[in-house]
Amino acid sequence: MKTMSDASEITFSNYGIYDLGDNLELLLPNTLIKFQRISDNAFSYFRENSEGQIIEKIIPVKSNDVKIELVPILPLNHPAKRTNYAFLKLDKEIHLGENSAASIFIQCPIEIGIFLIYGDSHEPLDWVTCNPLHSRFSLYGSPDTGTLCKYAEVSLATDYNDSISYVNGVMHIVIENTLSSAQTISKVIFPITENNLYYNDSKSILDGIKIIMKKRAAVNIAEVKPTLVDTEWTPAPAWDKSVESVHHMEMTLE
Amino acid sequence: MVIELLQSLSEMQLVGELTVLSLLIGGIIMAGGIIIAKIAKLLFHKYYAPSLPKDTAQNISKLIYFGILIISFLGFTSSQGIDLSGIMVAGGIFAVVIGFATQSVVSNLISGLFLIVEKPAKHGDTIDLPDMGISGTLLDIGTFSSKVRRFDGTVTRIPNDKFFTSNIRSLTLSTVRRADALVGISYNSDIENAILVMKNEILQTMPFVLQIPEPEFRIEALGDSSVNIHVFVWYPKDDWSQAQPILLGTLKRALDNAAIEIPFPQRVIWSGKD
């Protein structure tokens, strides 16, 4: 299995749609995926992930017209699906003066989903992460009433092309400070399930978010809303369509 | 022939105006009601309950079942021409008598209702009842008793009045929980370095341990043989098995890899000449 350090020597499989044929092998950093036809109506699926775990499945298919789509998905599944919220800790704090705004790009972690395509329908088959060490949990708030979030320390990106293949997607964040005092932003917590992903070759981007820091009565709050990205990149199907949508959130400023 | 049979049944009077035929019709109404109640409950469990929280599903299920039974009973009484107002008055008197005679039963019934309303714990919650020494998963809050499946797989039935009046410690109500472990390192070891290697090992190999709040290390005691460090880590409430049972092993591995000694009890003896 090839690792990230071997990336210069080998070509990893791009995101996109693949015909199953009789055999199909997809190679990702630290991850190997194999499909093999075992009969007219069935395939075997083999996947070895970055932690050495092997998963094997038998996939009965209704017709020969079955395809596979390899796409970036939201980073909510590893090590287990527990939350819809992301906690992104910025490696460098952002200082925002009174009544000012900032527009930044950040590296947001992603996972990779494998879908079966029957005609127009996408059926989730499996997911992998190429960087499991960066997939952790954190708590926002107190232990009894707080929100469990997926946690990642993220760096600023220059633009949408700054995506790290298979590991990070780029997200645009607009921050508006309408308060009469300067604010320092060191982390962003938001329901990430409203953010769609898009891919191009091995790069990915996510819908952005807009954060408005404002005063409500006597309390300073940050209102977070998703914003659609205007791109020609291919939209990735949602991994879990059954998740409850949270359209925006508000949090008290510390 | 059937008509003749029904006619003969309608003429057979049992008590007052109560005939065999009306009793038969009443029985059919009650039996039909029970069957419909069971079918409605079954359909609800099959098609709707899976999408609802467990306790809500249980309560709605009971409401449907007993609601249909009560409606059937009212149908039965009206088919027999029974005047319920008279029963109500007599029932009031009987209720007082029965209430005194069956205090514990009524107490359990009322406690069960309060438990359903107050919801100190929901179906599926992991709870600890320290007064009774019972820990496990709450399976059901019934009419008179509740059931808890203990961690060894056995199910304990607890009368509702005892359950209601005891201390209930919920292990799943909070978003996260904390695991802890105590380790000792030798007096020769660098404490800061030991903490650093343990923290790194936890964060790298225990994916369910929270990064925020981060693992906490407290120097608990300067013991007889070791410097004792108490380690605390937080984890998502449902992932106890991914934290507490493996924490101590992780700490030992970290200390072993860094060649930090975990001392056994030892005594230094000085002879008189020294």
Q: Residue B175 in contact with residue B213, Cβ under 8 Å?
A: no
- Is residue B5 a part of any domain in this protein? no
Which of residues B170, B187, B202 is at a domain's end?
B170
Which of residues B170, B203, B221 is at a domain's end?
B170
If you count DSSP H runs as helices and E runs as strands, how many of each does chain A have, helices first?
0, 20
- Percent of chain B exceeding pLDDT 70 equals 92
Write out the residue range of the structural domain in which residue B142 sits: 107-170
- Is residue B188 a part of any domain in this protein? yes
So what's the ipTM on this one?
Answer: 0.85
| Per-residue model confidence as pLDDT tens digits over B234-263 | 999 989 999 999 999 999 999 999 999 999
Please indicate whether residue A3 or residue B88 has the higher confidence score (pLDDT).
B88
Taking residues B17-38, report their average pLDDT.
Answer: 84
pLDDT of residue A158: 92
Q: Residue B119 in contact with residue B133, Cβ under 8 Å?
A: no
- Is residue B113 a part of any domain in this protein? yes
pLDDT of residue B273: 67
Name the band, by pLDDT with cuts 50, 70 and 90, for residue A178: very high
The residue whose two tokens read 């007889």 is B224
Give the minimum alpha-carbon distance from B142 to chain A in angstroms, rounded to a whole number.
27
CB-closest option in B173, B175, B208 to A139: B175
**B218 and B241 part of one domain:** yes
Which of residues B124, B144, B170 is at a domain's end?
B170
Give the minimum alpha-carbon distance from A89 to chain B in angstroms, rounded to a whole number.
10
Whole-number average pLDDT of chain A: 87
Lowest mean pLDDT segment, chosen from A172-186, B96-110, B131-145 = B96-110
SS3 B208: coil
Cβ–Cβ gap B213/A87 under 8 Å: no
Q: Residue A44 in contact with residue A27, Cβ under 8 Å?
A: no
The CATH code of the domain that includes B131 is 2.30.30.60
Q: Is B52 on the interface with A (CB under 8 A)?
A: no
Beta bridge partners of A45: A35, A57
**B156 and B205 part of one domain:** no
pLDDT at A4 over 70: no
Whole-number average pLDDT of chain B: 86
The CATH code of the domain that includes B200 is 3.30.70.100
The residue whose two tokens read 């990735």 is A236
Residues of B in Cβ contact (< 8 Å) with A139:
175-176, 210, 212-213, 234
- Is residue B40 a part of any domain in this protein? yes
Taking residues A168-173, report their average pLDDT.
Answer: 95
pLDDT at A58 over 90: yes
What letter represents residue B199's amino acid? K
| Per-residue model confidence as pLDDT tens digits over B88-135 | 666 777 777 776 767 777 788 888 888 878 888 888 889 999 989 999
CA distances from B114 to A5, A92, A191, B30, B100 (A): 62, 52, 36, 29, 20
Q: Which residue of B has its CA nearest to A139?
A: B212
Domains of chain B: total: 3
Cβ–Cβ gap A80/B176 under 8 Å: no
pLDDT at A198 over 60: yes
Residues of A in Cβ contact (< 8 Å) with B238:
82
- Is residue B270 a part of any domain in this protein? no
Q: What is the pTM of this model?
A: 0.76
Taking residues B205-233, report their average pLDDT.
Answer: 94
**Site from A49, A87, A138, A243 to mutate, B interface, most B CB atoms within 10 angstroms:** A138
What are the phi and psi torsion angles at B256 (to 5°)? -60, -45
pLDDT of residue A87: 94
pLDDT at B232 over 60: yes
Cβ–Cβ gap B175/A78 under 8 Å: no
Give the minimum alpha-carbon distance from A79 to chain B in angstroms, rounded to a whole number.
7
pLDDT of residue B230: 97
**B247 and B230 part of one domain:** yes
| Per-residue model confidence as pLDDT tens digits over B144-167 | 889 999 999 999 999 998 988 889
**B184 and B253 part of one domain:** yes
Q: Provide the chain B residues 154-173 that lie in CB contact (below 8 A) with chain A.
A: 173
**B57 and B28 part of one domain:** yes
Q: Provide the chain A residues 215-234 that lie in CB contact (below 8 A) with chain B.
A: none
**B251 and B196 part of one domain:** yes
- Is residue B274 a part of any domain in this protein? no
pLDDT of residue B188: 92
- Is residue B162 a part of any domain in this protein? yes
- Cα(first)–Cα(last) distance of chain B, in Å? 120
pLDDT of residue A70: 94
- Is residue B93 a part of any domain in this protein? no
**B19 and B73 part of one domain:** yes
